[in-house]
Amino acid sequence: MDASVLLALRDPAGVPFYPIVFQVLYILTWALHAAFVLLSLGAMGLSLYGSAKGKTDKYWSILTPHLIQTGKISVSILIVLGVAPLLFTQVIYDPNWYVTNTLSGMWIFIFVYTMVVGYSMYYWYYYANKAQRTGSTLIGFVSFGILVFAGILMHNFAVTSIMPQQWMSMYAPNGVVNTSGWTFNLDIIRLAFMVSLSIPVVGIFLQNYSHFLSTRKDFDASFISYSAKLGTNFAVIGLLISAVLFVLWMLQVKYLFHPVSLATIVGVLVLLVMAKINSNSYYTTLILVVVALLISTMRELIRFDIMSGLGYSIYDYPINFEIPSIVMFLSTFLVMGFVGVAFLLTMAWKVGKSEGVFDGSKDVMVNRLGQSTLYIMIAWMVIYFGWGITILFKNIL
Ligand code: HEM
């Protein structure tokens, strides 16, 4: 693949701001997407074990519905957070993303329906488990399989997009054009590494879960220590498996001794010690966030190097400054996003910490954050639509 083809595939309008900003945002938002992918797969996978055990086990009868609920909410968050890296990748790596969408067009369609069917079945699993219906585990297994398949498809898109040297042979194998849209590429080690991370993630989640509930009088101390131990086992075993797969992946792509790879290995070792000791799982989670950012950086580094090697550097992307859009985007992301998320998190935290029914209207902090979110959203709508309509009329009248 020659650089002129890649450069010709770029958006002639250029990018609206410095490309490095989009690159950093890509790394950040993909790490967030991955965090909820891993939590949903881990929580859902583990809930299947609990669901198969039924109501007979006193610990699992508490844990299973909580895991199902965690997975259910995480899927919705991972979908929302998946959109952000999608937007950033198509701004700076548009040749890669759109070529992949063309080569794997059928899989892109299938991906959308996979998500719809997989997530709808998850709700079915949730309600069937709640009603203790026989067969709820089977429904859960099918939904889990479908959502894992969605991840495999996502992996296919990511891998195909970093294979520009092979695009021509995928598009026209042996010189015959193939427009079927069925291109499918797998990198088993990379995929296994990504999916394996759901084991330590659910382990650290369980440690947090027991830490969080330890202040509640209505949860038995034996249940708290059972879930903490379970979490430690999952975190330790999972981290060992992921560490081996990470080293294999790095050996395969020849990045093992790169500083980012070495920093990731050190991060995983620190996590291993912290998870094993489990003195404060909230600190372990902070290190997990750092490791997630390092893994996201590693993915980006691999892509950046492949593309730079072919003469396509995102830093040379023509810039056509569009300050108003950037200001609108950043203020939405930072002001509305942070206040809104702070409101939801504060409320969720307080609901979880209180025994019985939590009345948000009587809590000063929740009230203040809720009202601020509402006012910011109203102001946002007025500005967004007012601005849009003004520009529209200015352009057409
Ligand atoms: C249960 C559903 C999903 C799972 C299990 C999943 C899993 C994954 C995995 C494992 C990767 C990394 C692939 C790799 O680097 O090899 C990935 C990347 C990604 N996912 Fe998801 N994903 C899901 C749904 C979504 C949705 C709904 C969106 C968008 C709305 C999305 C957007 C992305 C993006 C943009 C990337 C990065 C692609 C790239 O760098 O080329 N994902 N996902």
CB neighbour list of residue 87: distance below 8 Å, 6 or more residues apart: none
Does the beta carbon of 161 sit less than 6 angstroms from any atom of ligand 1? Answer: yes
Radius of gyration of the chain (CA): 23
CA of residue 79 to ligand 1 center, whole Å: 9
Two tokens at 84? 């952000």
Q: What is the distance in angstroms between the CA of the first residue and the CA of the last residue of the chain?
A: 45
* Of 294, 376, 381, nearest in space to 343 by CA: 376
CA 143 to centroid of ligand 1, rounded, Å:
17
Please name the residue whose Cα sits nearest to atom 31 of ligand 1: 82
Ligand 1 mutation target, pool 27, 29, 32, 33, most atoms within 8 A of CB: 33
**Does the C-beta of 190 come closer than 6 Å to ligand 1?**
yes
> Model confidence at 337, in pLDDT bands (50, 70, 90)?
very high
- Its sign, for the CA torsion 116, 118, 121, 122, is negative
Going by C-alpha positions, the residue among 185, 132, 131, 187 that lies closest to residue 160 is 185
- Give the mean pLDDT of 82-96: 96
DSSP 230-256: HHHHHHHHHHHHHHHHHHHHHHHHT-T
Of 64-78, 232-246, 352-366, which gets the smallest average pLDDT? Answer: 352-366
User: Which residue is closest in CA terms to ligand 1's atom 43?
Assistant: 154
Residue 304: CB within 6 Å of ligand 1? Answer: no
Give residue 252's Cα distance to chain centre.
24
pLDDT at 239 > cutoff 90: yes
Q: What is the mean pLDDT of residues 85-107?
A: 96
Tell me the pLDDT band of 397, cut-offs 50, 70 and 90.
confident
Q: Is 38 in the pocket of ligand 1 (CB under 6 A)?
A: no
Given this model, what pLDDT does residue 134 score?
85
Which residue in 103, 99, 100, 81 sits closest to 25, CA to CA? 81
Nearest-CA residue for atom 35 of ligand 1: 86
Helices (H), the chain: 3-8, 19-53, 60-92, 94-103, 105-130, 136-161, 164-171, 188-196, 198-213, 221-253, 259-277, 281-309, 323-331, 337-353, 364-396
Distance from the CA of 95 to the center of ligand 1, in angstroms?
18
pLDDT over threshold 80, residue 1? no
Count CB neighbours of 244 within 10 A.
13
Query: Within a 10 A sphere around the Cβ of 108, how many other Cβ atoms?
Result: 16
Measured in angstroms, how far is the CA atom of residue 359 from the centroid of ligand 1? 37
Q: What is the pLDDT of residues 340-389, one digit of tens each?
A: 999 999 999 999 999 888 999 999 999 999 999 999 999 999 999 999 99
Task: Tell the residue nearest (CA) to atom 12 of ligand 1.
Answer: 155
Over 80: is that where the pLDDT of 314 sits? yes
Q: What is the pLDDT of residue 53?
A: 87
Evaluate whether 337 touches 30 at the Cβ level (below 8 Å): no
- Mean pLDDT to the nearest integer, 187-212: 98
Ligand 1 lined by 85 (C-beta under 6 Å): yes
CA–CA separation, 325 and 323 (whole Å): 6
**Which protein residue's CA is at the shortest distance from atom 17 of ligand 1?**
154
Closest ligand 1 atom to the C-alpha of 86? Answer: 35
Which residue has a Cα nearest atom 6 of ligand 1? 151
Q: How far away, in angstroms, is 133 Cα from ligand 1 center?
A: 32
Q: Which residues of 76-107 are buried (b: 16+ CB within 10 A; e: fewer)?
A: ebbbebbebbbebbbbbbebbbebbbebbeeb
- Position 283 scores a pLDDT of 98
| Residues ≥6 apart with Cβ < 8 Å to 136 | 51, 125, 128, 129
Tell me the pLDDT tens digit for each residue of 270-283: 999 999 999 999 99
- Structure tokens that stand for 341 in this block: 């998320």
- Calculate the average pLDDT of the chain: 96
Q: Using the 8-state DSSP alphabet, how is residue 215 labeled?
A: T
Rounded-to-integer distance, Cα 19 and Cα 30, Å: 16
Confidence of residue 313 (pLDDT cuts 50, 70, 90): very high
Q: At 220, is the secondary structure helix, strand, or coil?
A: coil
- For residues 208 and 39, the answer to whether their CB atoms sit within 8 Å is no
Residue closest via CA to ligand 1's atom 28 equals 82
The DSSP line for 267-325 is: HHHHHHHHHHH-S-HHHHHHHHHHHHHHHHHHHHHHHHHHHHHTT--GGGS-B---HHH
The pLDDT of residue 54 is: 77
DSSP state, residue 10: S
pLDDT at 129 over 80: yes
Average pLDDT over residues 120-136: 95
Confidence of residue 55 (pLDDT cuts 50, 70, 90): confident
Q: pLDDT at position 380, please?
A: 95
| Residue 56: per-residue pLDDT | 85
In this predicted structure, the answer to whether residue 97 has a pLDDT above a threshold of 90 is: yes
Locate the ligand 1 atom nearest the alpha carbon of residue 157 and give its number: 41
Helix axes 259-277, 221-253, angle to 10 degrees: 160
Pocket perturbation via mutation, ligand 1, pick of 154, 190, 193, 202 by most ligand atoms within 8 A of CB: 154
Looking at ligand 1, which atom is closest to the CA of residue 162?
41
**Cβ 194 under 6 angstroms from ligand 1:** yes
Q: How many angstroms separate the CA atoms of 301 and 295, rounded? A: 10
Ligand 1 close to Cβ of residue 83 (< 6 A):
yes
Ligand 1 center to residue 55 CA distance, Å? 34
CB atoms within 10 A of CB 174: 6
Atom of ligand 1 minimally distant from the CA of 84: 35
Q: Is the CB of 156 under 6 A from ligand 1?
A: no
What pLDDT does residue 127 have?
97
Question: What's residue 299's pLDDT?
Answer: 98
Residue 161 CA, closest ligand 1 atom number: 41
Query: 77 near 36, Cβ under 8 Å?
Result: yes
